[in-house]
Structure 1
Amino acid sequence: MLRAGIAGATGYAGIELIRLLGLHPEVQVVWAGTESYQGQELAGVYPHLRGRVDLVGQEAAAEALAGCDVVFTSLPHGVTMTLAPAVLSAGTRLIDLGADFRLRDVAAYEAWYKKAHTAPDLVAEAVYGLPELYRERVRGARLVANPGCYPTACALAAAPLLRAGAVSLEGIIFDAKSGVSGAGRGVNLGVHFSEVNENFKAYNIAGDHRHTPEIEQTLSDLAGGPVLVSFTPHLVPMTRGILATGYFTLRGSWTTEQLVDLFREFYAEEPFVRVRPAGDLPTTKQVWGSNYCDIGLKVDPRTGRVLVVSVIDNLVKGAAGQAIQNMNLMFGLPETTGLLQAAPLYP
């Protein structure tokens, strides 16, 4: 039985990790770190876990984390990099749900996150944990950077097209929408009910969103050369879910049916990517509470573009579920362990 610790256990991603790991037959969560609820029972903070979780919030100290087989960190940027050296030195594997190790270019991290990186040597070692693209590297990793939620949805929408050279590398656009839980549990005016309800807004547009370089890094890997994208995120009045629509200019003549076949072949062995039939587009409700990414697409012959719609649950495939998928790979477990207990919730 693997002993797991979670730093940042009482945020939305952290508590989703606890919920999902409670269904995992090979893992026991033995330590829950929290800044806000130290000394309190987690089932009191999150009553939906009563009778399922017997954990008390602890201080996020590297010494405590080092007593685990695997540690998940779901912390503000700049924090995990201070804990990582001691945790890894103790032989504990680390999966970071934050941003500290996602960007391979330390200078890019410092420019986008406005913070000096204190563990640059570990940046070179960290493996970007999108299993569908980097599975073999994840298997041997001791430090995995769990992808962001928007970059997960965008990368999976683009991967078959870029690998096949089916689309131009110029003019790629992602128009994405997220539920409010993506902003975390902290209180701020932008996520008050009266601000979000019956409202719809774009934010951090024109290259200002910190997920932009992460998306471009993965797409550049796929294309074998530099790729720039236009990425526009939106906040929608729902709790969970991301819907990303990618706009790509086709190279050559492709039909919708041909591209659906391309996607199905690319993802044929992927347990968590479901490609829809031609003309069938996914919705966020259809993956709610699950680790699935559902993809649909359609060719627009008038403009020579293909539009790809990708949906995920931002707290599962966009965070906790993908982290568990990575953990399974790192410890030689079947990749789906603990993640297929039930179908997505609907309605």
Structure 2
Amino acid sequence: MTRTAGRPFDPYEGMARLREESPLRRMRYPDGHLGWLATGHSVIRAILADPRFSSRYELMHYPIPGGSTEVPPAPIGDLTGLDAPEHTRYRRLLAGKFTVRRMRLLTERVEQVAADHLDAMARRGGPLDLVEAYAQPIPALMICELLGVPYTDRDTFQRHVLSITDRDVAEDDRMAAYAAVQEFLHQLVLTKRAAPTDDVLSDLTTSDLTDEELAGIGTLLLGAGLDTTANMLALGTFALLTNPDQLAALRADPGLADQAVEELMRYLTIADVGIRSALEDIELHGQVIKAGETVTFSAHAANRDPARFPDPDTLDVHRKATGHLAFGHGAHQCLGQQLARVEMRVAFPALVSRFPSLRLAVPAEEVPLRANSNIYGVHQLLVTWDEDGQDRGEG
């Protein structure tokens, strides 16, 4: 599937039609497996909440053409590819490290990081790439601080994460990038065991997790913390700049930040495709999904379902977009969602307030999209602004 030309924020072309015809339908996979495609909000929410649907990689058939027909089990520490009780063990150890309260305590630090990068942007002047100057550094610095990873290694990690998630990168290169990150984190774990510091990785060294498990968990958290929020900040800014009324509303009322973040998550849903496999026969939406059958679901289609969200294809920062599935749902709901929310609730209002005349420096259709990645976004977002006193922070 491809995206409709001129509509970079919409789900894949034809997805709305498929959802209207049937929110749960048969789909033939590239390896010949006859499984399912789910596109409706209520159907996908039910799948994600049902432990009879497995997240184990080795049970899945992948909907990506040219992919391997035999998928190995999740690497050690990758709890996204596990079921209970293994998943529960990891999740219980990590949940206390990512509480709403703990993440909110980081707000002041996020504010300082954002302000520092906005100052640097003002000194440099436009046009510049917002991805490089703002969207990537904020989550990179915060996740590195949270895990105790030296910030000087941020660029290396960013490069490896991009390789891991890019479908155009050869399988061998993706695995090499994953191995490089794991090796670094394995060494970091040894350092934390010998001399703990105030960070999540050091906290976890007091648990019963092995060094290999800690390195795997660190790889997962680092990859998720770097790539997802960075793309939300860049693509979200792109969406606001092409919806000037919504941009103006957020600038006029920074108190809308919470609602705006949830709405942008719903509207964009950068982590779109998910997969589960039935462990037993399951009746759902008038159909019977047989044991062993794979269900692929589109969270983006679900978040644009008019049965759940009125006028779903309109970006509306005044909308209360509760119940969206951009962070998933159920046992595997995103662990770092509160950190991502803190970063976005700070970064979006700070950016649009600091640069009132912020705008794209190239036509919207020339913005390069990350179309072949597990995480959707933009490769580059060239922006500019008027060089007046207000945009430089003077007054």
Which bin holds the TM-score, normalised by the shorter protein? under 0.3
Please, what TM-score do these two structures have when normalized by structure 1? 0.26
Q: Which has the higher contact order (CA 8 A, sep 6+)?
A: 2
Please, what TM-score do these two structures have when normalized by structure 2? 0.23
1 or 2, which has the higher helix percentage? 2
* Greater Rg over alpha carbons, structure: 2
1 or 2, which has the higher strand percentage? 1
